């Protein structure tokens, strides 16, 4: 590189002085002096010309960096001479690109790949040299045109070629081993693929490429086209469903599959956890990953990576079958179809290897009916989840990162919630041509609660005989059956036809499937020893579920093993601490269900001497703050949380200091300074805008009161329309008075907001209620003003009914425009301020017996 102090007239030199020029034995490859300067965006053409000339001169260009079409059968991977030349060419390119660009290509193993990457990164011409492993760089001419036409979607030309030479359909590309059917599937030509399936036979469908992929395997991995897969299975038989790819093959991840199927091993969060029943530090797992930040709020949670998990057994001599490839790519329809056709014994044989892979991949892809069915199968006990806690950990940990897959993780409107509560989902799956019902999880009290309670009353009450006799006379059973039929019709016919109901139905079905999966997995956890529980990272899962607010996981695992409730991370923060930091109400409310142990949790300190109130004083996450439309209500939400936690901690915690020497209230004030200012600005801007509107209405309505329509009698001064249209005139006067009074009230209220001191506690009730009353009075003033306007027109244009009706219709527009703004904001303030909030909910829980 040039020395920045070099004289501007100095001639450019190579990257390193020629005097230090060295060569490699046998080839004379210059480690320096190939180019004049390191590669940049503005010198790529000159740089590439120098490097290309150098490689051509060294015999390292044709067949190494540039594919050689004259040698299609040249097996470059196993040719020692090719590998030697490739290493030399790659070394030369790495030297010439400069130290700043070396990091971009140092992981490449082929010179062609490194060259293409630099060309794409630095050249305006993004065309790269064809890689014979990616396309047809080495295809013979006899069938190259056929493959090329199929890839381009030119079916007429391809069909003509097949008719003239039918054997070409079975020819394979020497570099990839793929037939024309493979190429049609891989290039997305689905219609051509269907035609080729119809023209071919079992031989074509069973042919595998060099990676062991049949056309069905490629279709499963790259598409979600069930129709094409059905045609292949009908033509080639179910044997296609069990043909394995080559073990440990990576084909498709970089060259074939545009979705980069990464089947990586699910990595646990593996937070450092502690189980502590007596409030003391207990047994500890070592954390895998980076430490959290100073306040412990942010931790290095590692989710399951990729579409599935990389199974170690794949590298132990086992390939993959089509249903596994489809699930790894997240193709739901394809996965369900292939699973329904694949013999179930294939999945459970050989140590349930395929069954485990399918479980993990389907859960990651949110295909929940297949895992639920596998866990309910008669051979489910053969799945080695208890003996291999790592496999169990991957399944449960994946669920802990899916809050939207649980009922607690969704937000529905009132109408959507009504549909959700009224539907009763059912799940079925076709397996080996048999329709099988999947049992769905349901709370016991939700199942026929009315019928069960009535039956218990009849059976246990002393007057049971009399009631049984009456029930026979009144045909209660028939009536109950009729009511059940009506309920069934309402659920299956009426509700399912409503707009959006099908989506809600599927959502609820998935929720029940996930809960059933969780129930089955929790049963396995209940059978584990304490050491095995640590090994499967069940404590980490509890912490992650607390962060995500998945109360279902916490309750289910707590039921499986009560000790899991004592999980703590490396900062000695338990599930309730994480619930407070992440503002998860449902998890936090669980603290009132643990009886006398609540005091232990409430008085705990983390490694920074923070108690629960210190954690509540931290600023909530953006996801929680975003649930409120403005900064003022966000501040109110934060105050609600602080007060709710203050209700359960011991009094000494309110004045306790943390490691920084700060009390909880001091921490709250410091962390919410910016939010307080934002809330003040929003309140002032909103009050100022509405004050202007209210002032205009006051001016108009005050003038209208003394300039009544029709004028006044010159003799008496009484309005003329008072005698002619008494009723309408009275409406006009009344509406004018209401509008004037309400607008004046709203202006005074908004002035009170503008002059408020904006203290923290003002955001709890004072400011929201003032704003609420101001909005309500302003709305009534606008509506009354429109009524007065219409009344005046009715008196002045008596007899012109059409004009009056048109004016009345137009007068509604301002009200309709104002409703979305005022009504939405008013309802949000009403819900946030007057509706039982987090604090009142805590108080109610506190009064109820544990």
Q: What confidence tier does 280 reach under pLDDT thresholds 50, 70, 90?
A: very low
What does the pLDDT average to over 395-414? 88
Residue 485 φ/ψ region, left for φ over 0, alpha for ψ in the -120 to 50 degree band, beta for the rest: alpha
Looking at residue 233, its pLDDT comes to 93
Angstrom CA distances, 333 to 319, 376, 556, stand at 22, 21, 30
575 burial (CB, 10 Å; 0-12 / 13-18 / 19+) is buried
140: pLDDT strictly greater than 60? no
pLDDT in tens, 603-632: 889 999 999 999 999 998 887 777 788 889
Q: State the pLDDT at residue 703.
A: 83
Q: CB count, 10 Å around CB of 177? A: 15
pLDDT reported for residue 46:
86
SS3 call for 242: helix
Position 740 pLDDT exceeds 90:
yes
- What is the Cα–Cα distance from 727 to 730, expressed in whole angstroms? 5
Which of the pair, 747 or 468, is modelled with greater confidence?
747
Residue with tokens 């100073």: 294
* pLDDT tens digits for range 570-592: 999 999 999 999 999 999 988 88
Least confident of 190-194, 419-423, 823-827: 419-423
Q: Say whether pLDDT at 313 is over 50.
A: no
Share of the chain above pLDDT 90, in %: 28
Q: Mean pLDDT over all residues of the chain? A: 76
Residue-level pLDDT at 642? 93
Within 10 Å of residue 47's Cβ, how many Cβ atoms? Answer: 23
Burial environment of residue 797 by CB neighbours within 10 A (0 to 12, 13 to 18, 19 or more): middle
Cβ-contact 384, 528 below 8 angstroms:
no
pLDDT band at 202 (very low <50, low <70, confident <90, very high): confident
The mean pLDDT of 332-356, rounded to a whole number, is: 90
Average pLDDT over residues 790-799: 77
Lowest mean per-residue pLDDT among 97-111, 443-457, 573-587: 443-457
Q: Tell me how far apart the alpha carbons of residues 450 and 472 are, in angstroms, rounded to a whole number.
A: 18
For residues 297 and 583, is the Cβ–Cβ distance under 8 A? no
Res. 230 pLDDT band, cuts 50 70 90: very high
The whole-number pLDDT of residue 672 equals 93
Percent of the chain with pLDDT over 70: 72
Predicted confidence at residue 645, as pLDDT, reads 92
Of 229-238, 490-499, 515-524, 679-688, which range is least confident?
490-499
Is the pLDDT reported for residue 453 higher than 50? no
Q: Output 754-757 pairs: Cβ under 8 A, ≥24 positions apart.
A: 754/684, 754/687, 754/688, 754/691, 756/683
Q: What is the pLDDT of residue 469?
A: 58
Would you state the pLDDT for residue 248?
59
**Span 390-397, average pLDDT:** 85
Runs of H (alpha helix) within 342-429: 344-364, 369-376, 389-399, 414-422
Q: Mean pLDDT check: name the lowest of 126-140, 313-327, 332-346, 474-488.
A: 126-140
Q: What is the per-residue pLDDT for 442?
A: 55
Residue 23 pLDDT > 80, yes or no?
no
Q: Is 290 helix (H, G, I), strand (E, B) or coil?
A: coil
**pLDDT surpassing 50 at residue 258:** no
Residue 9 has pLDDT above 60, yes or no: no
Q: Among residues 728, 736, 727, 734, which one has the least CA distance to residue 707?
A: 736
Q: Report, as an integer, the average pLDDT of 276-280.
A: 42
Mean pLDDT along residues 358-368: 93
Q: Mean of the pLDDT values across residues 346-362?
A: 90
State yes or no: pLDDT of 340 exceeds 80.
Answer: yes
pLDDT, tens digit (0-9, with 9 covering 90-100), for 524-568: 888 888 888 888 888 899 999 999 999 999 999 989 888 898 999
Q: Tokens 């490839």 label which residue?
A: 325
pLDDT at 30 over 70: no
> Residue 276 CA to chain centroid, in angstroms?
33
**Res 825: pLDDT:** 86
Q: What is the pLDDT of residues 48-72, one digit of tens each?
A: 888 988 998 888 888 888 865 444 4
For residue 836, what pLDDT is reported?
Answer: 54
The reported pLDDT for the residue numbered 259 is 37
Q: What is the pLDDT of residue 477?
A: 54
- In terms of pLDDT, which residue wins out, 77 or 516? 516
Query: Which range is least confidently modeled, 10-19, 471-480, 649-658?
Result: 10-19
User: Among the listed ranges 126-135, 174-183, 410-419, 638-647, which one has the minimum average pLDDT value?
Assistant: 126-135
Is residue 203 within 8 A of residue 238, CB to CB? The reply is no
Q: What is the pLDDT of residue 723?
A: 60
Asked whether the predicted pLDDT for residue 413 surpasses 90, the reply is no
Check residue 432 and report its DSSP letter: T
Residue 462: helix, strand or coil by DSSP?
A: coil
**517 in Cβ contact with 373 (< 8 Å):** no
pLDDT-derived band at 265 (thresholds 50, 70, 90) equals very low
Q: What pLDDT band is residue 263 in, cutting at 50, 70 and 90?
A: very low
For residue 125, the model assigns a pLDDT of 55
Q: What is the mean pLDDT of residues 818-846?
A: 70
pLDDT at 595 over 80: no
pLDDT category of residue 665 using cuts at 50, 70 and 90: very high
Q: Given this model, what pLDDT does residue 24 score?
A: 38
Element (H, E) at 435: strand 434-438
pLDDT value, residue 158: 85
Of the pLDDT bands very low, low, confident and very high (cuts 50, 70, 90), residue 253 is very low
Give the confidence band of 260 by pLDDT, cuts at 50, 70, 90: very low
**Rounded Cα–Cα distance for residues 444 and 422 (Å):** 16
- Mean pLDDT on 657-676: 93
More confident residue, 123 or 146: 146
- Residue 105 pLDDT level (bands cut at 50, 70, 90): confident
Closest CA to 731 of 795, 805, 636: 795
By residue count, the chain amounts to 850
Least confident of 426-430, 491-495, 545-549, 781-785: 491-495
Most confident of 283-297, 522-536, 687-701: 687-701
Lowest mean pLDDT among 264-268, 348-352, 610-614, 816-820: 264-268
pLDDT at 482: 61
Higher model confidence: residue 744 or residue 849? Answer: 744
For residue 303, what pLDDT is reported? Answer: 39
pLDDT band at 44 (very low <50, low <70, confident <90, very high): confident
The partner residues of 428 in beta bridges, in order of sequence, read 437
- Taking the mean position of all CA atoms in its chain, how far away is CA 340? 28
Per-residue pLDDT at 835? 63
* pTM as predicted: 0.68
Indicate if the pLDDT at residue 292 is higher than 80.
Answer: no
Distance of alpha carbon 323 from alpha carbon 317, whole angstroms:
18
The lowest-confidence range among 33-47, 433-447, 569-583 is 433-447
């Amino acid at each position: 590189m040039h020395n920045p102090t070099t004289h501007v007239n100095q001639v450019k030199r190579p990257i390193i002085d020629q005097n230090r020029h060295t060569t490699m034995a046998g080839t004379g490859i210059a480690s320096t002096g190939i180019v004049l300067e390191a590669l940049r965006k503005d010198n790529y053409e000159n740089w590439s010309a120098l490097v290309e000339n150098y490689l051509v001169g060294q015999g390292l260009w044709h067949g190494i960096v540039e594919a050689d079409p004259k040698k299609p059968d040249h097996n470059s991977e196993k040719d020692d001479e090719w590998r030697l030349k490739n290493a030399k060419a790659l070394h030369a390119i790495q030297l010439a690109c400069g130290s700043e660009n070396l990091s971009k290509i140092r992981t490449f193993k082929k010179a062609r790949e490194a060259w293409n990457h630099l060309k794409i990164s630095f050249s305006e011409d993004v065309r790269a040299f064809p890689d014979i492993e990616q396309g047809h760089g080495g295809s013979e001419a006899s069938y190259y045109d056929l493959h090329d036409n199929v890839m381009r979607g030119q079916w007429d030309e391809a069909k003509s070629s097949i008719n003239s030479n039918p054997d070409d359909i079975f020819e394979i590309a020497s570099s990839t081993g793929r037939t024309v059917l493979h190429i049609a599937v891989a290039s997305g030509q689905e219609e051509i693929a269907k035609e080729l399936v119809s023209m071919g036979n079992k031989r074509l469908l069973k042919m595998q490429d060099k990676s062991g992929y049949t056309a069905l395997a490629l279709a499963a991995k790259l598409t979600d086209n069930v129709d094409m897969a059905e045609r292949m299975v009908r033509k080639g038989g179910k044997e296609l469903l069990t043909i394995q790819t080559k073990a440990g093959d990576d084909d498709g991840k970089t060259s074939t599959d545009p979705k980069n199927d990464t089947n990586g091993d699910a990595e646990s969060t593996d937070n450092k956890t502690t189980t502590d029943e007596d409030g003391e530090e207990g047994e500890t797992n070592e954390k895998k990953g980076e430490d959290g930040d100073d306040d412990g709020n942010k931790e290095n949670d590692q989710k399951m990576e990729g579409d599935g998990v990389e199974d170690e057994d794949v590298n132990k001599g086992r390939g993959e079958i089509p249903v596994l490839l489809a699930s790894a790519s997240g193709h739901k329809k394809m996965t369900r179809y292939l699973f329904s056709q694949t013999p179930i014994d294939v999945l459970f044989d050989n140590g349930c290897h395929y069954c485990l892979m399918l479980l993990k991949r389907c859960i990651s892809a949110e295909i929940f009916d297949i895992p639920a069915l596998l866990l309910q199968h008669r051979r489910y006990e053969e799945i080695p989840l208890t003996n291999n806690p790592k496999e169990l950990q991957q399944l449960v940990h994946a669920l802990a990162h899916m809050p939207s897959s649980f009922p607690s993780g969704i937000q529905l409107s009132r109408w959507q919630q009504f549909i959700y509560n009224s539907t009763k989902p059912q799940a079925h799956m076709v397996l080996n041509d048999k329709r099988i019902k999947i049992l769905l999880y349901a709370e016991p009290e939700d199942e026929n609660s009315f019928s069960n309670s009535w039956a218990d009353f009849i059976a246990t009450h002393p007057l049971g005989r009399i009631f049984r006799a009456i029930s026979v006379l009144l045909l209660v059973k028939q009536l109950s059956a009729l009511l059940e039929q009506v309920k069934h019709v309402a659920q299956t016919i009426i509700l399912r036809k409503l707009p959006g109901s099908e989506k809600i139905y599927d959502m609820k079905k998935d929720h029940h499937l996930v809960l059933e999966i969780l129930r089955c997995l929790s049963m396995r956890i209940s059978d584990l020893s304490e050491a095995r529980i640590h090994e499967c990272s069940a404590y980490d899962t509890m912490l992650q579920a607390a962060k995500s607010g998945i109360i279902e996981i916490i309750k289910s695992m707590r039921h499986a093993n009560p000790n899991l409730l004592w999980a703590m991370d490396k900062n000695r923060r338990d599930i309730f601490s994480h619930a407070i930091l992440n503002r998860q109400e449902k998890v936090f409310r669980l603290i009132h269900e643990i009886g006398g142990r609540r005091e232990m949790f409430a008085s705990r300190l983390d490694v920074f001497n923070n108690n629960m109130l210190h954690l509540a004083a931290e600023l909530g996450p953006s996801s929680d703050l975003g649930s409120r439309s403005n900064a003022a209500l966000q501040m109110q939400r934060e105050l609600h949380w602080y007060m709710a936690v203050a209700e359960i901690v011991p009094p000494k915690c309110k004045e306790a200091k943390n490691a920084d020497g700060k009390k909880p209230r001091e921490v709250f004030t410091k962390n919410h300074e910016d939010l307080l200012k934002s809330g003040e600005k929003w309140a002032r801007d909103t009050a100022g805008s509405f004050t202007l509107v209210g002032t205009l209405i006051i001016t108009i309505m005050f003038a209208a009161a003394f300039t009544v329509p029709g004028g006044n009698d010159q003799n008496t001064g009484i309005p003329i329309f008072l005698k002619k249209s008494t009723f309408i005139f009275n409406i006009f006067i009344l509406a004018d008075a209401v509008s004037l009074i309400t607008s004046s009230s709203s202006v005074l209220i908004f002035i009170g907001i503008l002059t408020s001191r904006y203290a923290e506690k003002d955001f709890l009730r004072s400011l929201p209620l003032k704003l609420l009353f101001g909005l309500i009075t302003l709305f009534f003033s606008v509506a009354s003003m429109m009524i007065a306007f219409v009344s005046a027109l009715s008196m002045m244009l008596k007899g012109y009914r059409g004009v009056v009706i048109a004016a009345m219709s137009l007068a509604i527009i301002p009200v309709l425009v104002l409703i979305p703004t005022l009504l939405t904001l008013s309802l949000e303030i009403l819900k946030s301020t007057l509706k039982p909030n987090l604090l009142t909910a805590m108080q109610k829980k506190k009064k109820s017996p544990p």
